[in-house]
Structure 1
Amino acid sequence: MRIRKEDIPVILSIVLVGVLVYSSLFEDYIKSFLAVFIFGLGWLGRKRIKDKVMSHVSDLAKEVKENIGIADMSKFREFVPSEVFPLVDVLEKLVEKVQEKEIQKIEYDMLLEQVKEFELVKKEMVSYREKINKMENKINYLQLIYDVTSKMASTLDIDSLSNLIVRSVSEKLGIENFAILLKEKDVLEVKAVWGFSSNLRNVKFSLSEGVSGLAFSTGQVVYIPDTRRDGRYLYWKGEYAEDGSFLSIPLKYRDEVIGLFNFNKPKVGAFSEEEIELLVKLADQAAIAIKNAYLFEEVKNLYSSDPMTGLINRTTMIKKVEELISMKKKFSFVLFDVDGLRQINMRFGYSFGDKLIVGISNVIISEIRAVDIASRFGGDEFAIVFLGADSVKTMDEIKRILQKIRSLGENIEISMSGGISEFPKDGKNIREIFESADRKLLLAKRIGGGIILSEHNGKQDEKRDS
Structure 2
Amino acid sequence: MVLGVIACTLLAGRFLSAGAFSAGSGLLPAVLGELLMGGGLYLFLEYRVFRPAERWREKVSTAGMNPIPLEAGILSPLAAVAAERYGRALVELERGIGEREEKLRQVEMLRRDLEETKVHLESKIQDLHTIYDVSTAIAGTLDAEELFRILPERVMRTLGLNDFAILLYNPDTRMLTCRAGAGMASDLAGEFEIATGEGVSGRVFETGEPIYLPDVRSSSEFLYYGGRRMDVRSFMCVPLLSKGRAIGVLNVHQPLPNAFDAESLATMRVLASYLAIAIENADLFHFVKTLAEKDSLTLLYNHGAFHEKIQIELERAARYGRALSVIMLDLDGFKGINDAYGHVVGDRILLMTAGVLCAHLRKSDIAARYGGDEFAVILPETDLVAATTIAGRIAAGISEVRMDTGKGSAITFTASIGYAACLPDSSGRENILNVADRLMYESKRRGPGGVLGEQL
TM-superposed deviation, 1:384: 1.4
For 1:246 and 1:408, the matched residues in 2 are separated by 55
CA distance in 2, matches of 1:256, 1:403: 49
Matched, 1:340 2:333: yes
User: Residues 207-262 of structure 1: CA distance to partner in whole angstroms, max 9, x if unpaired?
Assistant: 51433222222222232322223333332214562221222222222133233322
Other structure's SS at 2:237 match = strand
Shift of 1:159: 2.2
Partner in structure 2 of residue 236 of structure 1: 225
SS at match of 2:411: coil
Whole-Å separation in 2 of the counterparts to 1:240 and 1:394 = 48
The alpha-carbon deviation at position 310 of structure 1 amounts to: 1.9
* Gap change, CA 1:355 and 1:262, over 3 Å in 2: farther
Aligned pair count reads 358
| 1:393-404 to 2 correspondences below 5 Å | 393-404=386-397
Q: 2:279, 2:428 → 1: CA distance?
A: 38
Match for residue 300 of structure 1 among 282, 285, 289? 289
The answer (yes or no) to whether the contact 2:399–2:412 under 8 Å persists in 1 is yes
TM-score when normalising by structure 2? 0.70
- Decide which moves more: 436-445 or 215-224: 215-224
Q: How does 1:161-176 map to 2 (within 5 A)?
A: 161-176=147-162
Q: Confirm or deny that 1:438 pairs with 2:437.
A: yes
Taking a change above 3 Å as real, the CA distance of residues 425 and 274 of structure 1, as seen in their structure-2 partners, is closer
Aligned partner of 1:248 in structure 2 is 237
Q: Distance in 2 between matches of 1:204 and 1:407?
A: 40
- Further displaced range: 186-195 or 385-394: 186-195
Contact 2:176–2:195 at 8 Å: present in 1 too?
yes
RMSD (Å) for aligned C-alpha atoms? 3.1
Query: What is the 5 A alignment of 1:258-297?
Result: 258-297=247-286
Classify 1:234/1:157 alpha carbon distance in 2 versus 1 (closer, same or farther; 3 Å): same
1:173-252 matches, cutoff 5 A:
173-186=159-172, 187-196=175-184, 198-208=186-196, 209-238=198-227, 241-252=230-241
**1:9-20 map, 5 Å:** none
Matches within 5 A, 1:92-103: none
If the length of structure 1 is used for normalisation, what is the TM-score?
0.68
Amino acid at match of 1:199: D
Q: How does 1:369-408 map to 2 (within 5 A)?
A: 369-408=362-401
Of residues 310-319 and 238-247 in structure 1, the stretch that sits farther from structure 2 once superposed is 238-247
Aligned partner of 1:322: which letter?
Answer: Q
Quick one: distance in 1 between partners of 2:194 and 2:346? 36
- Write the distance in 2 (CA, Å) between the matches of 1:401 and 1:413: 15
Residues 259 and 408 (structure 1), Cα distance of their counterparts in 2 relative to 1, 3 Å cut: farther
8 Å CA contact retained: 2:180, 2:186: no
d(CA) in 2 for partners of 1:287 and 1:233? Answer: 24
Which runs of 5 or more structure 1 residues have no equivalent in the other structure?
1-99, 459-466
Aligned amino acid, residue 200 of structure 2: V
Aligned-pair identity (%): 32
Match of 2:114 in 1: 128
2:323 to 330, 347, 350: 330
**Distance in 1 between residues matched to 2:307 and 2:126, nearest whole Å:** 48
Q: Is 1:419 aligned to 2:418, yes or no?
A: yes
- Counterpart selection for 1:364 from 337, 346, 357: 357
Matched-pair contact (CA < 8 Å) for 2:399–2:413: yes
- On the 8 A contact 1:207/1:217 being kept in 2, the answer is no
Q: 1:369 is aligned with what amino acid?
A: R
Look up the SS of the partner of 2:176 in the other structure.
Answer: strand
| More divergent stretch after superposition (201-210 vs 399-408) | 399-408
- Opposite residue 253 of structure 2, the aligned amino acid is N
Q: Which runs of 5+ in 2 are unaligned?
A: 1-86, 404-409
Whether the aligned pair in 1 keeps the contact of 2:439 and 2:452 (CA below 8 Å) is yes
Q: What amino acid sits opposite 1:432 in the alignment?
A: N
For 1:52-91, what aligned pairs fall within 5 Å after superposition?
none
Distance of 2:146 and 2:214 partners within structure 1: 31
Match of 2:454 in 1: 455
1:396-452 C-alpha deviation (Å, 9 max, x unpaired): 223334444445424221322111100239964565211211111112211221122
Contact map agreement 1:376 1:383 (CA 8 A) in 2:
yes
Query: Could you tell me whether the CA contact under 8 Å between 1:180 and 1:259 is conserved in 2?
Result: yes
- Structure 1 CA distance, aligned partners of 2:243 and 2:300? 31
